[in-house]
Amino acid sequence: MIDISLDDFIALPVADKLPFIKDYAILYAQQFQRSQLDEYCKLADAARKIHKNPDGATMMEGLLTHRAALNFFAQPSSRTFLSFNTAQTFLGMKRMSVRDVKISSISKGESLMDSVRTFISYVDMVVMRHADEHAGAIAFWTSMKAHRRLNINGIERPIPIISGGSGTKQHPTQALLDIYTLEKSLETVGGIDKKKIMLVGDLKRGRTVRSLSYLMKNYKDVELYFAAPEEYQMEEDILEFLDNHKIPHQKVGHMADAIDEVDAIYMTRIQDEWDEGAKKDGHVKVNENFIFKEEYLKKMKAHCCLMHPLPKRDEIEESVDYVNDPRVVYWRQERNGMWMRVAIIAKIFNVDKMILAATDSWS
Q: Which residues contribute to the site for ligand CP (CB under 6 A)?
A: 77-81, 165, 174, 309-311
Quote the least distance from Cβ 311 to ligand CP, whole Å. Answer: 6
CB 291 within 8 A of CB 316: yes
Minimal distance in Å, beta carbon 59 to ligand CP? 28
- Contact in structure between 41 and 180 (CB atoms under 8 Å): yes
Nearest to ligand CP of 87, 355 (CB atom): 87
Provide, rounded to whole angstroms, the least separation between the CB of residue 183 and ligand CP. 18
> Of 144 and 212, which has the nearer Cβ to ligand CP?
212
Q: In angstroms, rounded to a whole number, what is the distance separating the alpha carbons of residues 216 and 356?
A: 26
- Find out whether 63 and 91 touch, Cβ atoms under 8 Å: yes
Of the candidates 330, 345, 360, 347, the one whose C-alpha atom is nearest the C-alpha of residue 71 is 345
Please, which residue, 142 or 170, has the CB nearer to ligand CP?
Answer: 170
How large is the angle between the packed helices 54-61 and 79-90, nearest 10 degrees? 90
Q: How many residues would you count in the chain? A: 363
Residue with Cβ nearer ligand CP (191 or 309): 309
**How do the residues of the chain divide into helix, strand and coil, expressed in percent and rounded to 5?**
50, 15, 35
Minimum CB–partner distance for residue 78 and ligand CP (Å): 4
* 21 neighbors 13 (Cβ within 8 angstroms): no
Q: How far is the CB of 261 from ligand CP (least distance, A)?
A: 26
Nearer to ligand CP, 9 or 81 (CB): 81
Q: Which is nearer to ligand CP, 77 or 118 (CB)?
A: 77
Instruction: In angstroms, give the least distance from the CB of 194 to ligand CP.
Output: 27
How far is residue 147's CA from residue 159's CA, in Å, rounded to a whole number?
A: 10
